[in-house]
A and B are shown apart, each in its own frame.
Chain A
Amino acid sequence: MFADELKTLRRLGVRHVLLQILNFVSVLASGLMIWKGLGLITNTESPIVVVLSGSMEPAFYRGDLLFLTNPSDARYQTGDITVYKIPGADIPIVHRVLETHDYPPNNKGAVAASPLVQRQLLLTKGDNNAIDDIELYQGLEWLERKHIVGKVRGFLPYVGYVTIAMNDFPQLKYALLGGLGLLALIQRE
């Protein structure tokens, strides 16, 4: 099936094969760098996430794509939709902030006058849940800023199903990657 292509590759030499592999690998590298760059600009480790559960209906449904930012100088307000990760749990959760309390830093008796303190204690609850998230916190009483991945700024419906499909059927992921690799090796720019 690939006899023609293999013959061509053998005829064209090592440099050509290296160039073709480079074509493929550099597409992956640029995708990775765009992701990392986006994460740095938005100050969050995961600037785009997919909703997995229905706990935020009717605002977000399973399969929605969410765009996050994590401004380090802004205060999280009640009503913000945040994505947080509890240490020990590997899946981030997207729920709304129910309560926030400012916890002034211990500045030798002085209290910071600005409301933009870094120490915030947060309590969240999913819109579609009956109770707040205390049981999800695995022993913590409040969420702190360091647990928050980001705040939701925008969303795209349904697009996340591609990621869900690739996670549930890893063969799909490998097939896609394999197909891309083959295409890149055979085509010339």
Chain B
Amino acid sequence: MAPRSRKAAASTSPPRTHSDGTPPEVPPKDETSAVADVDALLAPLPGEQREEVKVNNASVTDMKHACDDALKRFLSRPDLFKQIHTHTDVRLALGWLSVLVAGATGLYGWKVPFEQSKPAVWAGVIAYIVLTIAQTLYSYFIEGDIVFVGKRKTFDKRIVTERITITSRTTPSSPSTPPGYALGLTFVRSAAGGKTLLGKGRASEERPFTAFFDERGVLDQEAFERWVGAVVGQVMDGKAQ
């Protein structure tokens, strides 16, 4: 492993006792068994071959995107959550639809003489404006800061569905503190197709970017994943803040 001596001192949450590469112990067969399994899964796999993630560490947006991507990669592992892409798909659908409307209107206005084309071009321009407003409202009100929505189905004595929604924000820097990365998590565990509520949790935690990025701008993915795993584990155990 590359020496991490140049990284700023970081304060991470205490590591879980049964993670860090040891195989999970045989869990007791009751409600908490699923939870113990997940705790093991939430630990970053040691020695896993990762591509180096290097960003411009003067740009807070770049660092936030790098962290968001690492978060998505970490939580989308096969045994963990399955990412639900609804927000992205809606944004893509509305966006591409508005582009197609614009293209069709432009093409029509080019082929047909001006006076004749006016009603259709009016319709096209108004449709484009409506779609753009819809996109903006959706992304501001409904999507907001959400970066990851994941679902997980486990079979214990019945089918348990778990759903996690993660938002992330950056906090601005001040002369004495570095910029920070604030995660907010909302977690729901239900059974019987969502009709029985088994557990709910909410958590939010913040870390300065200096905890994960070194001087060159390389993201320490293991430390980041350890932190994310800890917070997700917290919210899934129901130890919400």
Residues of A at the B interface (CB closer than 8 Å) are 7, 11-12, 15, 18-19, 22, 25-26, 29-30, 32-33, 36-37, 39-40, 44-45, 146, 188
Contact = CB atoms under 8 A, between A and B. Distances in A.
A29 B124 CA distance: 12
Interface string B59-99: 00100010001000000000000000100110110011011
23 contacts: A7-B51, A11-B69, A18-B92, A19-B91, A22-B95, A26-B98, A26-B99, A29-B98, A29-B128, A30-B132, A32-B102, A32-B105, A33-B125, A33-B128, A33-B129, A36-B124, A39-B109, A39-B114, A40-B121, A40-B122, A44-B114, A146-B115, A188-B65
B19 to A, nearest CB: 25
B236 to A, nearest CB: 26
Contacts of B98: 26, 29
A12 B85 CA distance: 13
B106 interface: yes
Nearest to B92: A18
B118 interface: yes
A33 B61 contact: no
Interface size class of B (residues with CB under 8 A): 20 to 34
A39 B108 CA distance: 14
A33 B102 CA distance: 6
Contacts of B109: 36, 39, 45
Interface in B115-147: 115, 118, 121-122, 124-125, 128-129, 132
Contacts of B122: 40
Nearest to A189: B61
A33 B123 CA distance: 11
Nearest to A38: B125
Contacts of A39: 109, 114, 121
Contact of A32 (B96, B106, B115, B129): B106
Contact of A30 (B85, B88, B92, B102): B102
Interface of B is mostly: helix
B114 A45 contact: yes
A11 B65 CA distance: 14
A18 B114 CA distance: 34
Closest 3 CB pairs of A and B: A29-B102, A45-B114, A29-B99
A40 B118 contact: yes
B113 to A, nearest CB: 8
Contacts of A30: 102, 132
B24 interface: no
Contacts of A32: 102-103, 105-106
A152 B205 CA distance: 60
Contacts of B114: 39, 44-45
A18 B90 CA distance: 13
A36 B125 contact: yes
Contacts of B89: 15
Contact of B92 (A19, A36, A37, A146): A19
Interface string B175-212: 00000000000000000000000000000000000000
